[in-house]
Structure formats: structure tokens, C-alpha cells
Amino acid sequence: MPRCGSSADPSSAPVASRAVQSVATSIATSTKRLRDQAQSRSSSSSSSLASMWRDVQGSNNWRDLVKPLNSILRDEIVRYGEFVSACYKAFDLDSASKRYLNCKYGKRSMFEDVGIGNCGYEVTKYIYAAPGTETPRWIGYVAVASDEDEVRRLGRRDVLVTFRGTVTRAEWAANLMSALAPARLDPHDPRPDVKVESGFLSLYTSDESASRFSQGSCREQLLGELSRIITKHRDEELSITLAGHSMGSSLALLFGYDIAELGLNRSGRKSAIPTTVYSFAGPRVGNLGFKERCERLGVKVLRIVNIHDPVTKLPGVFLNENFRVLGGPWSCSCYAHVGIELALDFFKVRNPACVHDLETYIRLLKCPKLGKIEKNHGDQFGNWGLNFIHKAKELMRRENFDAWAWQDAARQVGNLVQSLGF
């Protein structure tokens, strides 16, 4: 009688061995097939982006790409949103730090330190802005697609400029100025009818105080760096992509207009370098004259907005593009959004903590089914909101942190939500 664990029939061992080998071979074949399919999909996606990148960057105003949202465009929006999110993750709000109100990390390591080290871009310059008479603080960065595999995937060498949104008290004050002023960015043709929000314009052009990290205004830093990059890559296919969240989207649009108005994207080239703005939760920036001028200059703007986000309805709650029928002198006083809108709806649960949050925008774009929110799904979005609140409370507990900014922001958004009935 065979012992426990031994084979009753020694001749069956080869059969069992062959069965195991057959299963192993089947698994290996299936694994290879799945790997090949994944590589094929990746290759197909890459080649598709390379072949249609101009459309994705808005050459045809995103015709047939927004409704329904094209998967390649969705991936690009998410990618640029994560580049903007890096600004928040890298901004130093520790008042005890030597890099307080600056970037926590060096240019060479920043992407890796914030978790996107394999992005294929390299940071070439940090950008600083001075709100009012305050000390300049880090507002964003310039980066260039440097990895040649990434350049081939994109179909061109992409020059990227990103801006974070409002964090400090002085920046909130700049946001709430809500008065139109002539942009006058072209010294040879001031165009007095082209007006922009004075707080954003001041943030973009002011150079009120010196900083050991920056020289010149936000505008001067940007124009100088972009000129350098365009000259360096003058013989290559380029794109200029500007991305920002909230206040940062306003700076992105101002810079896009400035580039086109000065002709920087056309200098020494047969055709203009495509200039595209990805605006996340952006407010209105200028008047109807500004909108029309941006369109005439070919600045492409994709506005990604939550339809319940009150910030996207400011400024110009009453005088805006919907009142163009007034005509005459009123048109100069009406604020107007620029570009094509991609409308998201993720606030049916009325959670004010996530209504304007960039991470929530990105999560919804990654998981579009979450946009169809049922009442019993509210807890999931509520948890995101609670996480946002906890982050805010943690910031307020830090020594010498100016809690007024967060309290005032909540008050402003809350009042607006109530007054407009969102």
C-alpha cells in the first residue's frame, strides 16, 4: 500500500509532468499575448497622438473631440493637469523653511520628488510673481520635453509653462480686485479696447520687490525663457502649452495672449508655433475685446470647468458675454470667457470642499463614470472633500500660517454659492 503523499502509479508521473508543462505553456502564451496587446495599444495610442497632436492642441477648436470627449484628448488633459498639480505639491508653505513661499525642490529633481519622474520633461526655469507689494513667491515653472522617446510620442517638442492657483492672502486680494484695465502689453500698439482684470494683470507684470530667487516681473521671466528655448530649438517642430488652475489659468491665458500679440511664436518661422492654454477651473480674464483679440491671434483655449464651480463664473457675474446684445460702450465693460468649454458635473452632492479642487477635476477625468453621481455615491465625493478640509486645517495649524486666506476663501465661495443658488 503506498505511503501518504506518494504516487499510486509511478507511470503517471510523466503524464502529470506533461500536464503541468502544458498549463505553464498556456499561461506563458496568454501572458505574452496580453503583453503584446498592451504594447500594441500603447504603440497605437502613441502613434495616434503623434499624428493628431495639432487637433489635440486645438487647431480646429477641438471639433468632434469634446462631445463626446476623445480618449486621447482626455489623457492629454489629465497629463497637463498633473503637471499643474505638481506646482501645489512642490510649493513650500512652511514658514520655518529657508524656502518658504518658494519651491521645495531643485529643478533637476522636482518631477521625481512630486511623483512624476518619468514624464519625459525637464524643468528649465522657475517662475516667481509679486502680488502687490508682497515678496515674490514661486508661481510655476517652465519645462521642455527632453526625452527623445517622449518627443516622438508627442509628435513634436513641447514647451510647457504651468501655474498654480491662489494660496496666500495677497493672491486672494489680487483675485478679488475685479476691475478692468487696458492690457497695453504691446508697446507699439497699446489697443485700449483690450482690457483684462487688473488684479491678474498686476500679478503678471509687477516687480515691486527683490527676491534672491527671481529677477524681474513674472512677465519678464517668462518672455526671456521662452525666447531662449525657441531660439535653441528653432529648427524643430514645437508647441507651446500653457496650463494653470484657478488664478494660474488666468496667468496662463495672459501669457498666451502676450506671446501672440508680440509675435514671439512667429519670430523667424514660416508658420506660428501652436499656442494652447489648458485652463482648469479658470475665472474670466478680460473683456469682449480681449476675447476677440485672442481668437484673432489664434490663441487656443480649452476651459475645463465644473459647472457648479462658482470661481468659473467670476468676475462679471452680471456683465459678461451673455450680455453682448447691449453693444456700444457696454461691450468694453463686459467680461468674457475665451475658448472652448469642456463642462464637467461632479458637484450634485453640493460639497463646497471639492467644487474647485484640482485633484477632484483630475480624478473625474480619469474615471469619467464618476461624473454620473447618484445620491448614494455622495459619500465617496464627501471623503475627497473631507481630505481637502483636513489639508487646509493642517496648513492653518502651522506656526505663523496666515489662516485668514483660507477663512476668507471659504466665506467668499460660500456667499457666492448662496447668492447665486448653486
CB 237 within 8 A of CB 147: no
Strands laid side by side in the 286-287 sheet: 180-182, 195-197, 286-287, 335-336
- By three-state DSSP, how is residue 86 classified? helix
Taking the CB of residue 361, how many other CB atoms lie within 10 A of it?
25
| List of residues 6+ apart from 278 with CB closer than 8 A | 77, 80, 81, 241, 242, 243, 244, 252, 302, 304
CB 164 within 8 A of CB 88: yes
Query: Grid coordinates 514660416 are at which residue?
Result: 270
Taking the CB of residue 71, how many other CB atoms lie within 10 A of it?
12
Query: Grid coordinates 467668499 are at which residue?
Result: 412
Catalytic residues: 246, 309, 356
CB 209 within 8 A of CB 244: no
Whether the bond between 68 and the residue before it is cis, its omega within 30 degrees of 0, is yes
Q: For 411, what's the count of Cα atoms within 13 Å in the CB-facing half-sphere?
A: 8
Give the span between the Cα atoms of 190 and 179, in whole angstroms. Answer: 18
Pair type for strands 195-197 and 180-182? antiparallel
| List of residues 6+ apart from 174 with CB closer than 8 A | 131, 132, 199, 200, 202, 203, 247
Among residues 321, 271, 257, 268, which one has the least CA distance to residue 59?
271
